[in-house]
Structure 1
Amino acid sequence: MSAGAALEPARDAGLQAERTALAWNRSAAALLIDALLLLRAGYLAESAPVLGLAVALLGMSSALIVLARRRRRQLLRADGPRLASRWAIGAMAASAVTACVGAIAAIGERVTQ
């Protein structure tokens, strides 16, 4: 064992799991806020497509909040964290894409008015 290896601190895997759990929660909360802002923009612009995207994003973000809580429990379990399922990552990605499409639609509605 070299002297350099003895000076390195032990790796704490618990902090990484906590940061990951917080990132899932932040992402779900950000999508919920985006859905509410999109809902407001659609209502004020009286735009059915924007309102439709907002309602879809609201449902997706609500499901992601539940998923984030479940993921947090998985990450902080005593037997160690598991990898996120493909559908969970896909759901988060689909929600982000829906949020982007909704924002573009809301901007497009505002420009055409």
Structure 2
Amino acid sequence: MPWVVRVLVAWGINILALLVADWLFASFTIGRWGPIIFAGAVLGLANVFLKPLVTFIAIPLILLTFGIAYFFVNVVMLLFTEWVAPNFSIDGFWTYVGATIVIWLVNWAVWSLVDVIVGDEARRRR
């Protein structure tokens, strides 16, 4: 899959994940459609550029907690996205935790589906 298509698919998946989290949690609110499109881009860019830096800084804590602290690196990416994106609000620690889990699950499920589809397409071309 060309990198441009992969970036656009990742952006769409982030938008879908944010929509699902908004639907599941009453204290997770995001405006439609401009803010959610922008938030999907911010979340993707934060995961590409900011997450490696935060992970590097948190390596001692990640090792000390046997990887549990890495989950909170993902929470920080969501916190950053909320801070940057307009009309986006998350109230409460447990909503951050739940939304992070939901966003991870949606990303995992949809990327698994994309991998199956792209894998099937590649096998048919052989």
TM range (shorter): 0.3 to 0.5
TM-score between both structures, scaled by the size of structure 1? 0.36
TM-score between both structures, scaled by the size of structure 2? 0.33
From the CA coordinates, give the structure whose radius of gyration is larger.
1
